[in-house]
Amino acid sequence: MEQAAGGNTRGKFGTAPVFFTSISTILGAILFLRLGFATGTLGFWGAVGIILLGHLITIPTALAISEIATNTRVEGGGEYFIISRSFGLKIGSTIGVTLYFSQAISVAFYTIALAEAFAPFFDWWSESMGFALPRQVVSVPVLLLLAWIILRAGSGSGVKMLYIVNAILFLSLALFFAGRAIDPGEELTRAPGDAFGFFHKEQFFILFAICFPAFTGMTAGVGLSGDLKNPGRSIPLGTMGGTLAGLLIYLLIVWKLSSHASIADLVEDQLIMSRIAIFGTVMIPLGLAASTFSSAIGSIIVAPRTLQALALDSTFPSRRLNQVLAKGKGEHREPVNATMISFAIALLFVLMGDVDTVAGIISMFFLITYGSLCLISFLNHFGSPPSYRPRFKSRWYLSLGGFLLSVWVMFMINALYTIIAYAVIVMIYLFIEHHNKEQKGLVNIFKGALFQLNRRIQVFMQKQQSSMENEEWRPAAICISPNSLERDKVLYLMKWLSYRHGFGTYFHLIEGYFSKQTHAEAKVVLGQLVEGMKHGSTLYIDTMISPSYTSAIAQVIQSPSISGMENNMVVFEYAKGNVDELSRVLENINLTRAGGYDTCIFAGSTYPVRSANGLHVWIRATDEQNTNLMILLGYIIMAHPDWKRSQIKIFIVHSGESAPLNAGLGERVSAGRLPITLTNIEIIRLSGEQTVSEAVKERSSRAGLVLIGFREEILRRDAVAFFSSFDAIGDILFVSASSAKEI
């Protein structure tokens, strides 16, 4: 049998330990020490607000955990295993590290709180001896005793103690509910039900940060995943049972406190429950001791297993460190070394001795973890991967709500600490990614969700095509070339066109029949092209295997665009001086014109790209239909950062018989409808037998890119001669519009 991530080979526990671990952690220190203060400070509805807000985060998290636990084989590591096997090991390890620290610090939190159960002893000592003892005289020995028990007897002894302490806990709560109201006296008033308004958000969220760790106990039982016989059944039942039972008990306790004690007593006496309960002076401190001790047991059982699972997944950069932390003892591979590390961390925080400070730290870590779990569930719902088939199903809107609420609450508690917490998360992720490059990362998390979003957008765009016909034109260009690895200028042209205002798709052509060999070649070439263009590029790149150039063009122009809008432009390319390539392009232009596409032919020179020298647009009297398209393309190309130091210059060529400047063009320039000024327009009158190519060579031989229009009539005459006449110039984009464009 395959070894579990947590190191166990066979589970030994059923559902009951999950439930009792969860409920004993939920009904812990906060319930006995801080719930009365919160009720007295905020009133009945304020305390209820804290409980409900906390459970609006924890219930979706519990549902998400239950859902994911029934979809995958859950092994050792609890929440960490669920996160890492759903998000990938990079994200899972990142959150797992923070989760582990929150669990280890929780041991300290519950041990510190346990010392408060001895408040009568500390009061007696202070009155009798004349000086106060620090709480560490109780918390440190208790922590050391707990460490000795767990290290000597293992998790089984901890689970056995859970049943004893839960019996004491529920007995103390029963006696509390059976108790009488405190006589408030004439000068005191009871906590009124309408004393709280949600407008006092600063005080509310301070108390929420202190009280929230009480609700986090619902995931404590998940940490036993590697020790469960049937985690897919025990985790949902135990977790949800503990969560709902805890919610009901907390609401009943707030009602009991607000109706049986005065505001002053609630605020001033942290053990106010002992004055209400039958035999309260004994049973409530005993219940506090039992609950905090059981919570500490639950945390110390869970935290080392999380650390052990992290080490088994080789999270840490040192191989030796991973081996030491992953080491187990006995048949069930008890995490001895990880337990010792956990106790060392807990001891450090026990020495701090402040319940409220430690509670605030735990809240931030747990909120990050819970938000992440809810996000996992939401992305799995939205992405709909075929492998996601949980037997227990939550709802996507509950998971999304839990995630958004956790982030919002963190900012409401402390925006600076939230930013710091997420910054630490990012740094941990970058560190883990550096040492685990082969594992799944951020891209894999959102791939399914992005796939679904892209699909829905494309279907929506297709349905809107009829209403988009009269909308502002933008290029959706496609280009296919077999020369991608020999020259890349046309790739840069496509990148410029698709940077901000348009969309571009580039196909590398592999001429031949589809086979294993050509398919493998296509994958290699695609990887090279994507790697070469990934920085700052929005160009979509793919490969096409086809028997001929003509058949490839026919395939490409009939393929749907992944942008959601129809392709409207085809870009050909050839190397200047290569008549065979030019002839092949000219032979296939009719295919694109038959489909109503705008046609561009990029003639690449051997010169490097000289974008600083500007972009020149040449307009002739016969270019009326091409003029707007050329200017629009010039503007779109100039939006790319490669051209930020350049400007567009327009040359208008005319003979003695033609008007020197198109009236419409001049009006648009004057009105500011074109991204040029009249100073950027130069009117050129051809002299004598001077040709257009000679004028272009004279003024634009060193331009970064030249745009020249061509008409269908040129293709019917000696087209090779026309295009070849510009060979002495740099890079040229020949443009032919299928229809006039509006600017």
Output 547 or 92, whichever has higher pLDDT. Answer: 547
Query: What confidence tens digit (pLDDT) does each residue in 664-720 have?
Result: 555 655 554 555 667 788 888 887 778 888 899 989 988 999 999 998 888 888 899
Q: How far is CA 303 from CA 58, 80, 376, in A?
A: 19, 10, 22
- 144-158, 560-574, 583-597, 634-648: lowest mean pLDDT where? 144-158
d(CA 115, CA 472): 72
SS3 139: helix
- The answer to whether the beta carbons of residues 304 and 339 sit under 8 Å apart is yes
* CATH for 465-736, options being 1.20.81, 3.90.25, 3.40.50, 3.30.420: 3.40.50
Q: Characterize 545-581 residue by residue with b for buried, 16 or more Cβ atoms within 10 angstroms of its Cβ, and e for exposed.
A: bbeebeebbeebbeeebebbbbbbbbbbbbbbeeeeb
For residue 682, the 8-state DSSP code is: E
Contact 310, 97 (CB under 8 A): yes
State the Cα angle at 224 between 295 and 406, rounded to 5°: 65
119-178 tens-digit pLDDT? 777 777 888 887 778 877 888 888 888 777 777 665 555 556 667 878 888 899 999 999
Q: What per-residue confidence (pLDDT) applies to 520?
A: 92
Residue environment code for 109-132, b if the CB has 16+ CB neighbours within 10 A, otherwise e: bbbbbbbbbbbeebeeeeeeeeee
Structure tokens at 24: 């004993």
Q: Is the Cα torsion angle 130, 36, 249, 112 positive or negative in sign?
A: negative
Contact 593, 510 (CB under 8 A): no
Between 546 and 16, name the one with better pLDDT.
Answer: 546
* Mean pLDDT (whole number) for 330-343: 80
What are the residues whose beta carbons fall under 8 Å from the beta carbon of 339, sequence distance 6 or more? 147, 150, 151, 300, 304
Question: Which span out of 28-37, 137-146, 404-413 was modeled with the highest average pLDDT?
Answer: 404-413
pLDDT value of position 534:
66
**Separation CA 215–CA 296 (nearest Å):** 15
Q: Is residue 735 helix, strand or coil?
A: strand
Domains 25-186+196-443 and 465-736 share a fold: no
Q: Mind listing the pLDDT tens digit for each residue in 97-120?
A: 888 888 888 888 878 877 777 777
Distance between the two ends of the chain, CA-based, in angstroms?
A: 69
The better pLDDT of the pair 381, 220 is held by 381
Q: For position 354, what pLDDT does the model report?
A: 67
Q: Name the band, by pLDDT with cuts 50, 70 and 90, for residue 480.
A: very high
> What local confidence, expressed as pLDDT, does residue 464 receive?
63
Question: Which pLDDT value is given to residue 543?
Answer: 92
Judged by DSSP in three states, 600 sits in: strand
Q: What is the 8-class DSSP label of residue 669?
A: H
User: Could you give the C-alpha distances from 638 to 260, 654, 668, 672, in angstroms and in order?
Assistant: 75, 26, 19, 17
* Residue with tokens 């005993």, as numbered in its chain: 286
Beta strands in 423-495 (DSSP E): 476-481
Stronger pLDDT, 580 or 107, i.e. the higher one:
580
Domain 25-186+196-443 falls in which CATH fold?
Answer: Amino acid/polyamine transporter I (1.20.1740)
At residue 656, the pLDDT reads 58
CB atoms within 10 A of CB 134: 12
Q: What percent of the chain has pLDDT over 70?
A: 79
In which band, very low, low, confident or very high, does the pLDDT at 657 lie, cut at 50, 70 and 90? low
- Please report, for the chain, the start and end positions of each structural domain, with discontinuous segments joined by +: 25-186+196-443, 465-736
* 331 pLDDT tier (thresholds 50, 70, 90): low
Residues 233 and 221 sit within 8 Å (Cβ to Cβ): no
CA distances 113 to 116, 146, 285, 455, 648, Å, are 5, 15, 11, 53, 72
Query: What is the pLDDT at residue 349?
Result: 83
Mean of all residue pLDDT scores within the chain: 79
Give pLDDT tens digits for 239-286: 888 888 989 999 999 999 888 888 888 888 888 888 899 988 888 888
Comparing CA positions, the residue from 339, 81, 394, 98 lying closest to residue 231 is: 81
**Residue of 24 and 499 predicted with greater confidence:** 499
Compute how many other C-beta atoms are within 10 angstroms of the C-beta atom of residue 520: 10
More confident residue, 299 or 626: 626
Predicted confidence band of residue 6 (pLDDT cuts 50, 70, 90): very low
Distances 309 to 36, 93, 96, 313 between C-alpha atoms, Å: 38, 9, 9, 6
